[in-house]
Amino acid sequence: MTDETPVLDQSVLDELRDSVGGDQSFIADLAATYLAEGPDHLAAMQAAVSAGDAAAIVRPAHTLKSSSASLGAMRLSHIAREIEFAGRNGETSGLAERVSTAREAWAQTVAAMKESGLA
């Protein structure tokens, strides 16, 4: 199900462009902020997994979910959402795999943004 979700949903990006009057430099600035912060959120998620601390994963997963959705990175947003909810429910089993899936989706997102000229 997750794999059907587009890495970068152009319709979300189109809507974002519309909402800021097609200001490409603003979109690029937003993408730069996103790309600069993403690794920190992933690192925090990894640290939470290593510590076996499900509660600590909620916030970085939530932030990544939310900013990914704003920039159309829907696959990563969905994975981060699953991780956030697992964290809220205190589930630690399978969390390491999910975080590694998130890392893969992050790499795909960065590549797709570069391809789209966003990064």
Residues engaged in binding another protein (CB under 8 A): 4-6, 9, 11-12, 15-16, 18-22, 26, 29-30, 33-34, 37, 59, 62-63, 65-67, 69-71
Q: Residue 27 is which amino acid?
A: I
The CB-of-69 to another protein minimum distance in angstroms stands at: 6
Which tokens sit at 80?
């981060």
Helix (H) or strand (E) holding 61: helix 54-70
> What distance in Å separates the CA atoms of residue 97 and residue 93, rounded to the nearest whole number?
9
> What distance in Å separates the CA atoms of residue 41 and residue 63, rounded to the nearest whole number?
8
The CB-of-19 to another protein minimum distance in angstroms stands at: 5
Q: Which residue's CB is nearer to another protein, number 97 or number 114?
A: 114
Q: Which residue's CB is nearer to another protein, number 43 or number 96?
A: 43
Per the CB < 8 A criterion, the answer to whether 108 and 7 are in contact is: yes
The CB-of-57 to another protein minimum distance in angstroms stands at: 13
Q: Which residue's CB is nearer to another protein, number 30 or number 92?
A: 30
The CB-of-4 to another protein minimum distance in angstroms stands at: 6
Q: Which residue's CB is nearer to another protein, number 30 or number 46?
A: 30
> What distance in Å separates the CA atoms of residue 108 and residue 71, rounded to the nearest whole number?
14
